[in-house]
């Protein structure tokens, strides 16, 4: 580790220590209300006639430390650099009316990006309608709330497949017992001026078992993104492209160890995913298989790629994961010491197809989570990453296989 990175890591560790100490003192204060500081915050105001306004936040301070392979195998330039900084600084304002209308606006001050910003109408008989910007469904792990993730970063195939947030409209219906249906149409682009493309998406979930601490989730999701040429403010037209890539499950770096590069003249992109999960008391087993395909307008052969992940976690203190609206939620601690969870995940991604050499990789991740009350969470992940990619300079396959140690202190409300 270089000196600046070491100082940054020690600084964050001091912050972690002070935060933990303060939270612990609050938990063991002499007054009965001391522990309430960890469980109930007045971040919303509700009137007697059912109107509500409030704020939500998610602040994550991360450490990423690399060892082993850190350099480009051709140039020798260091491409995986230790870092200590904010991962997310998300802030939301929302309002709800008693007749089913809700509005929300959110911004990530760390990533400098707009988040879920929408207007929604909810009705038990006809379902929920939403207009605005929100997450797309293919890549179930990505669509889960960032406050509730088991691991610090999403898996390789989810990174490569998920479309991110898009502008559009969707409808979610849960009026049939054990079923959830979501249909969406994205009009192209997002509030950040990225991700041009439009098309439909769908998500279908079946819960053969759905009880308080026993959930079986079976789902399928699919989307089509129609790509089109874009013209910037200078009048320059850009050829529509497709691109699939992934970091080594540590996101403080901009380096993608697997990357197809720009695939020009993309006409459309099809994405599909199969997902499953089992919540059995303190046990969570989860997995996805994801596939994507790019079609081109210039006669090039269709490109396809994909991958999968499987993961498991165990809450040692006995609490069960939440589950709502077809997504796995967070852990709510039952005791004053908080909840402790251990987890493991294996993920694999293949971006090689025909004349495209995006690379192949797989990662092993082990993690530990401490949920201290309902607003503080501490995470530690160890990632053993493996990747093989074709480099055009030496014209041969070369490996980049880093080891990564990650820490996170998270405050959310």
Q: What is the DSSP string of 101-151?
A: EEEEEEEETTTTEE--EEEEEEETTTEEEEEEEEE-SSSHHHHS-TTS-SS
In a domain, 60, yes or no: no
Chain-centre distance of CA 68, in angstroms?
26
Virtual CA dihedral for 44, 413, 136, 113, nearest 10 degrees? 100
Question: Does residue 67 contact residue 403 with C-beta atoms inside 8 Å?
Answer: yes
In a domain, 99, yes or no: no
In a domain, 179, yes or no: yes
Q: How many CB atoms lie within 10 A of CB 146?
A: 17
Chain-centre distance of CA 279, in angstroms?
20
In a domain, 64, yes or no: no
Over its length of 413 residues, how does the chain's per-residue pLDDT go in tens digits?
444 444 444 444 444 444 444 433 333 333 334 446 677 788 999 999 999 999 999 999 999 999 999 999 999 999 999 999 999 999 999 999 999 999 999 999 999 999 999 999 999 999 999 999 999 999 999 999 999 999 999 999 999 999 999 999 999 999 999 999 999 999 988 999 888 889 999 999 999 999 988 999 999 999 999 987 665 556 666 789 999 999 999 999 999 999 999 999 999 999 999 999 999 999 999 999 999 999 999 989 999 999 999 999 999 999 999 999 999 999 999 998 999 999 999 999 999 998 899 999 999 999 999 999 999 999 999 999 999 999 887 878 999 999 999 999 999 99
Question: Does residue 34 contact residue 67 with C-beta atoms inside 8 Å?
Answer: no
First to last CA, the chain: 34
What pLDDT is attached to residue 239?
Answer: 86
Dihedrals phi, psi of 215, to nearest 5 degrees: -130, 135
CATH classification at residue 379? 2.40.160.10
Virtual CA dihedral for 331, 85, 72, 389, nearest 10 degrees? 30
Whether pTM > 0.75 for this model: the answer is yes
Question: Does residue 346 contact residue 320 with C-beta atoms inside 8 Å?
Answer: no
Token digits of residue 362? 């797989």
Judging by beta carbons within 10 Å of its beta carbon (0-12, 13-18, 19+), is residue 42 exposed, middle or buried?
A: exposed
Q: Which helix (H) or strand (E) holds 39?
A: helix 36-39
Question: Does residue 77 contact residue 412 with C-beta atoms inside 8 Å?
Answer: no
The boundaries of the domain holding residue 210 are 118-412
| Beta-sheet pairing, 376-391 with 258-259 | unpaired
Residue 245 Cα distances to 155, 361, 391, angstroms: 12, 11, 15
b or e along 2-41 (b: 16 or more beta carbons within 10 Å of the residue's beta carbon)? eeebeebbeebeeebeebeeebeebbeeeeeeeeeebeee
In a domain, 74, yes or no: no
Number of domains in the chain: 1
What pLDDT is attached to residue 234?
Answer: 64
């Amino acid at each position: 580790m270089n000196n600046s990175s070491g100082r940054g890591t020690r600084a964050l560790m001091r912050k972690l220590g002070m935060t933990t100490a303060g939270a612990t003192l609050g938990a063991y204060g002499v007054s009965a209300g001391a522990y309430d500081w960890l469980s109930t915050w007045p971040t919303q105001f509700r009137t007697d006639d059912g109107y509500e306004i409030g704020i939500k936040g998610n602040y994550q301070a991360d450490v990423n430390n690399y060892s082993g392979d850190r350099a480009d195998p051709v140039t020798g330039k260091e491409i995986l650099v230790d870092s200590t900084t904010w991962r997310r600084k998300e802030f939301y304002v929302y309002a709800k009316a008693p007749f089913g209308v809700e509005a929300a606006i959110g911004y990530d001050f760390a990533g400098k990006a707009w988040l879920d910003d929408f207007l929604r109408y909810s009705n038990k008989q006809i379902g929920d309608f939403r207009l605005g910007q929100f997450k797309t469904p293919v890549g179930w792990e990505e669509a889960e709330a960032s406050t509730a993730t088991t691991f610090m970063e999403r898996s390789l195939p989810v990174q490569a497949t998920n479309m991110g947030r898009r502008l559009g409209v969707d409808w979610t219906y849960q009026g049939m017992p054990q079923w959830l249906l979501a249909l969406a149409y994205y009009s192209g682009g997002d509030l950040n001026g990225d991700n041009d493309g439009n098309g439909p998406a769908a998500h279908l979930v079946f819960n053969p078992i759905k009880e308080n601490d026993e959930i079986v989730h079976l789902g399928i999701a699919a989307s089509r993104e129609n790509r089109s040429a874009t013209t910037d403010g200078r009048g320059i037209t850009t050829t529509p492209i497709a691109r699939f890539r992934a970091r080594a499950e540590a996101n403080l770096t901009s380096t993608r160890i697997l990357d197809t590069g720009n695939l020009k003249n993309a006409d459309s992109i099809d994405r599909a995913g199969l997902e499953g999960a089992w919540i059995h008391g303190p046990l969570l087993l989860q997995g996805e298989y994801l596939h994507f395909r790019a079609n081109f307008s210039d006669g090039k052969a269709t490109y396809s790629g994909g991958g999968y992940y499987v993961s498991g976690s165990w809450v040692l203190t006995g609490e069960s994961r939440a589950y709502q609206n077809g997504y796995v939620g967070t852990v709510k601690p039952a005791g004053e010491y908080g909840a402790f969870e251990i987890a493991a995940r294996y993920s694999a991604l293949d971006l090689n197809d025909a004349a495209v050499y995006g690379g192949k990789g797989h990662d092993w991740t082990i993690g530990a989570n401490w949920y201290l009350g309902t607003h503080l969470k501490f995470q530690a992940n160890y990632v053993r990453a493996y990747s093989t990619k074709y480099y055009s300079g030496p014209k041969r396959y070369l490996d980049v296989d880093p080891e990564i140690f990650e820490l996170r202190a998270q405050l959310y409300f």
